[in-house]
């Protein structure tokens, strides 16, 4: 008996009890759909995070204050404006550097107000951090030299404070001080856990003179929240990072054995870390979804065992007229495979539909790939084959005389 004859007999046996066959397939359908949908969401999240980090530029290096727990024997270092000058001198033309000081401040426009990240910046902040202007202009050297009360706001800030009106030339209040909006940034989305569109940028000198207060000074010296560097050649990022660390140790009198007290990270390092994390989460989601496939396989084995019991006399009759052991074995294996393959097809379609709905929601651009579909579908077939072996051997091992006498 060939495969197609076994397949025809399997379909006839399965359609004889449609409800039971449908319920048996349900576990496989849910399992495959869960694998496809969850892995699509995981890959979509990975792709989104990767594109956001790459949008910042893989040649970007960030220096910021790092806080260590006292229990670990670490210390907190203060990043001074003088450190920026030393770093700029050390790296020369290998990278462009820009300092910044950041606070949380209450920003008001009429009756609209909210707390925003207000950052004091220099004229090259936009080019180093890959910001582009949507309307108006960016902060200039003249703004810093004259400590001008001007501000550039993010696209989300503009929407929140001005509700669709043109913000250019209008005034906002930052901690009670009036600033004139001269530019609006183009949208950049989120980076990590923060939005890059929810920002307010002011001249760094204006911030020191009027806005930051005593928090921006330590021992009479100006401090910084961080320094951003953009390497001209991405291949030199690691070398520049080492130079920056060396300069900070020198400026703060730290030896190689001392905690640096600063975080010197590159976007490529961040991308590698985030990719590793999201890859692990995607694999975890797939493993959790695979549990549904396991449950579905147990359901197939259970129902197939019931089917063997119900068809004991039929099996005995077929053996009595000459059906060999391997024929009976193949018949039941084909039945379980048919259930699994049909369930896999329907589950794949359901999983793709779920991923499509998630993408339409705008939360995550779920990405269904060919390898995900093949993995889910082949897993369903293997589950059906694995859990169908025992019932098939049970059926093939029945003795004809005992089977014919079974009531």
Is residue 256 predicted with pLDDT exceeding 70? yes
> Are residues 209 and 95 both part of a single domain?
yes
CB atoms closer than 10 angstroms to residue 235? 8
> Are residues 141 and 45 both part of a single domain?
no
Higher pLDDT, 94 or 179: 179
pLDDT in tens, 21-48: 777 778 788 888 888 888 888 777 777 6
- The answer to the question of residue 347 being in a domain is yes
> Are residues 39 and 109 both part of a single domain?
no
- The answer to the question of residue 58 being in a domain is no
> Are residues 163 and 45 both part of a single domain?
no
CB atoms closer than 10 angstroms to residue 182? 21
Cα distances (angstroms) measured from residue 288 to each of 6, 38, 113, 274, 275: 34, 9, 44, 21, 20
Higher pLDDT, 309 or 355: 355
In sequence order, what E strands does 76-211 have? 95-109, 112-121, 133-136, 150-153, 171-174, 177-185, 190-191, 194-195, 199-203
Pairing of strands 190-191, 177-185: unpaired
- What is the pLDDT of the chain when averaged over all its residues? 80
CB 277 within 8 A of CB 45: no
Q: What is the pLDDT of residue 397?
A: 63
- The answer to the question of residue 266 being in a domain is no
Length of the chain: 407
> Are residues 160 and 216 both part of a single domain?
yes
Number of domains in the chain: 2
CA dist., res. 340 & res. 361, Å (int) = 31
Q: Residue 393 belongs to what domain range? A: 3-52+273-405
> Are residues 117 and 202 both part of a single domain?
yes
> Are residues 27 and 110 both part of a single domain?
no
pLDDT in tens, 345-356: 888 889 888 888
pLDDT in tens, 219-232: 889 999 999 998 88
CA dist., res. 46 & res. 365, Å (int) = 10
**Residue 52: exposed, middle, or buried by beta-carbon count in 10 A (0-12, 13-18, 19+)?**
middle
> Are residues 151 and 215 both part of a single domain?
yes
Q: Which residues make Cβ contacts (< 8 Å) with residue 367, sequence separation at least 6?
A: 40, 43, 44, 47, 355
**Residue 219: exposed, middle, or buried by beta-carbon count in 10 A (0-12, 13-18, 19+)?**
exposed
> Are residues 90 and 226 both part of a single domain?
yes
> Are residues 90 and 111 both part of a single domain?
yes
CB atoms closer than 10 angstroms to residue 260? 17
Q: What is the pLDDT of residue 57?
A: 55
> Are residues 254 and 341 both part of a single domain?
no
CA dist., res. 346 & res. 34, Å (int) = 12
Q: What is the mean pLDDT of residues 163-176?
A: 91
Higher pLDDT, 138 or 281: 138
Tokens representing 159 are 């929407």
CB 330 within 8 A of CB 51: no
> Are residues 129 and 233 both part of a single domain?
yes
Domain boundary among 260, 295, 323: 260
Q: What is the mean pLDDT of residues 300-307?
A: 74
Q: Name the percent of the chain lying above pLDDT 90.
A: 26
Q: What is the pLDDT of residue 184?
A: 95
């Amino acid at each position: 008996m060939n495969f197609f004859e076994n397949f025809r007999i399997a379909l006839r046996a399965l359609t004889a009890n449609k409800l039971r066959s449908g319920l048996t397939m349900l576990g496989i359908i849910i399992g495959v759909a869960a694998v496809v949908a969850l892995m699509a969401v995981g890959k979509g999240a990975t792709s989104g995070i990767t594109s956001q980090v790459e949008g910042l530029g893989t040649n970007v290096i960030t220096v910021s204050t790092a806080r260590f727990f006292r229990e670990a024997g670490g210390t907190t270092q203060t990043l001074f404006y003088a450190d920026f000058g030393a770093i700029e001198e050390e790296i020369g033309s290998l990278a462009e550097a820009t300092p910044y000081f950041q606070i949380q401040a209450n920003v008001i426009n009429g009756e609209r107000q909210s707390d925003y990240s207000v950052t004091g910046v220099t004229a090259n902040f936009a080019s180093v951090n890959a910001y582009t202007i949507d309307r108006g202009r960016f902060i200039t050297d003249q703004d810093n030299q004259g400590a001008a009360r001007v501000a550039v706001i993010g696209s989300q800030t503009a929407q929140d404070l001005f509700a669709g009106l043109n913000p250019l030339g209008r005034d906002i209040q930052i901690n009670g001080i009036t600033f004139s909006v001269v530019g609006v940034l183009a949208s950049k989305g989120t980076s990590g856990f923060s939005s890059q569109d929810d920002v307010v940028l002011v001249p760094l000198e204006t911030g020191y003179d009027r806005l930051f207060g005593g928090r921006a000074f330590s021992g009479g010296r100006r401090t910084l929240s961080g320094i951003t560097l953009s390497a001209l050649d991405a291949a030199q990022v690691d070398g520049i990072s080492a130079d920056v660390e060396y300069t900070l140790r020198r400026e703060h009198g730290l030896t190689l054995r001392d905690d640096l007290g600063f975080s010197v990270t590159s976007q490529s390092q961040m991308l590698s870390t985030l990719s590793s994390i999201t890859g692990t989460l995607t694999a975890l989601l797939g493993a959790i979804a695979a549990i549904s496939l396991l449950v579905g396989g147990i359901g197939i084995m259970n129902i197939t065992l019931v089917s063997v019991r119900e068809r004991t006399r039929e099996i005995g009759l077929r053996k009595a007229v000459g059906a060999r052991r391997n024929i009976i074995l193949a018949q039941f294996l084909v039945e379980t495979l048919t259930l699994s393959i049909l369930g896999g097809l329907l589950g794949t379609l359901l999983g793709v539909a779920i991923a499509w709905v998630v993408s339409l929601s705008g939360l995550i651009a779920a990405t269904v790939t060919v390898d995900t579909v093949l993995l889910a579908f082949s897993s369903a077939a293997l589950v059906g084959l694995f859990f169908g072996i025992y019932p098939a051997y049970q059926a093939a091992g029945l003795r004809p005389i005992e089977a014919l006498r079974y009531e």
